[in-house]
Amino acid sequence: MSQPKRIAITGAAGQICYSMLFRIAAGDIYGPDQPVSLHLLEITPALGMLEAVKMELDDCAFPLLNDVIVTDDPRVALDKVDAALFVGAKPRGPGMERSDLITDNGKIFSSLGAILNEVGSPDCKVCVVGNPANTNAYILKANAPNINPRNITALTRLDHNRAISQLAGKTGSTVADINRMVIWGNHSTTQVPDISYATVNGKAASDMVDKAWAQEEFIPTVAKRGAAVINARGSSSAASAANGVIDHMATWIQGTPAGDWTSMAVLSDGSYGIDEGLIYSFPVECKDGEYTIVSDLDVSDFIREKMLASQQELREERDTVADLLPG
């Protein structure tokens, strides 16, 4: 067997991680032949809870789980890891504005970015989950110039999966029949779920559903699905978010199936006229541990307008955290 892959995970005693760690330990990211080592980070008051999670990981006797480190020291957690999943963040409290959340959580990501910069491997694969995910990834990138900026990504795979599920329901098909879904933009209500290129059993989805559904029902249903889950459950999506993170990492590492792509929030290279440097969700193809933004898709005026609105939101979020961006 090969050397274990080391994965740092922040917020490891939280809800998402309770659904995620066991699947990673079972091999769901790196596959069935690759041992893993988990570096679990929490804030000091949550270390007791995290020890309990470690007890349960031990009790599963996962053959691929080489070792588990439990720590409240980010230098230990992030030391030379192959991948880092930044899940830990403060939830939005009562009466808190979105801008307060951005500033509070931004501080976590500027400090973790600076530490990753010191102790991390330059080619560490990063997925930011804690909200606001795109802007937290932007802050992390700005504070970690030694890390390959292309490897600093944020999660929109949950949105992508939600979009596939909605289209499957509408067309009476299964999720396995659907290819080429796209989520553009920010992981927020301005995101743009787009069926323009999607196929259902090889047929154009846009020929199977009416335009009014695609524009007026599908987009808001996907974009507001997180809020719908919070209303129904009393807390935010956890198992589906965990599944999204695992899909994001597994696809990045193991590749997209031929003829399909996925959605990831990645460093914009100016594709589709989006500002270079923003962390923006695009359709990407993955192969051999690398991703490529799918180029030259024909974007309708309706979708373009929404893409620009999501870009504008990301610009404003970036301006809100200007203090946390060095230089």
Is 39 a catalytic site residue? no
- Six-digit token string for 112: 């973790």
For the record, the structure tokens of 243 come out as 């599944």
* Binding of ligand NAI by 102 (CB under 6 A): no
Q: How far is the CB of 279 from ligand NAI (least distance, A)?
A: 12
Number of residue whose CB is nearest ligand NAI: 14
* Residue pair 310/191 in contact by the 8 Å Cβ criterion: yes
Residue 108 or 126: the one with the smaller Cβ distance to ligand NAI is 108
Distance CA 324, CA 327 (A): 10
Q: Which residues contact 201 (CB under 8 A, 6 or more apart)?
A: 173, 177
164 marked among binding-site residues? no
Give the three-state DSSP class for 327. coil
* Torsion sign (Cα): 66, 68, 74, 76: negative
* Closest alpha carbon to 192 in 116, 286, 297: 297
In angstroms, give the least distance from the CB of 293 to ligand NAI.
19
Identify whether the C-beta of residue 279 lies closer than 8 Å to the C-beta of residue 138.
yes
Q: Does 155 interact with ligand NAI (rule: CB under 6 A)?
A: yes
- Please name the residue that has the structure tokens 């992390």: 140
Phi and psi at residue 279, in whole multiples of 5°? Answer: -95, 110
Each residue 45-84 as x (binds ligand NAI by CB under 6 A) or -, in order, gives -x--------------------------------------
Smallest gap from residue 188 Cβ to ligand NAI (A): 9
- Which of 39, 160, 187, 248 is the catalytic position? 187
**Residues 217-256 vs ligand NAI: string with x where CB under 6 A?**
-------------------xxx--x--x------------
Beta pairing partners, 291:
286
To ligand NAI, the closest distance from the beta carbon of 308 in angstroms equals 22
Q: Provide the 10 A C-beta neighbour count for residue 230.
A: 12
With CB under 6 A as the contact rule, the residue among 31, 91, 273, 326 that binds ligand NAI is 91
User: Shortest approach of ligand NAI to residue 129 CB, angstroms?
Assistant: 5
Contact call for residue 187 and ligand NAI (CB under 6 A) = yes
Who contacts 270 (Cβ-Cβ below 8 Å, separation ≥6)?
A: 276
- By annotation, the residues acting in catalysis are 187
Residues that bind ligand NAI (CB under 6 A): 10-11, 13-16, 41-43, 46, 87-91, 108, 129-131, 133, 155, 158, 187, 236-238, 241, 244
Enumerate the known binding-site residues for substrate.
Answer: 92, 98, 131, 162
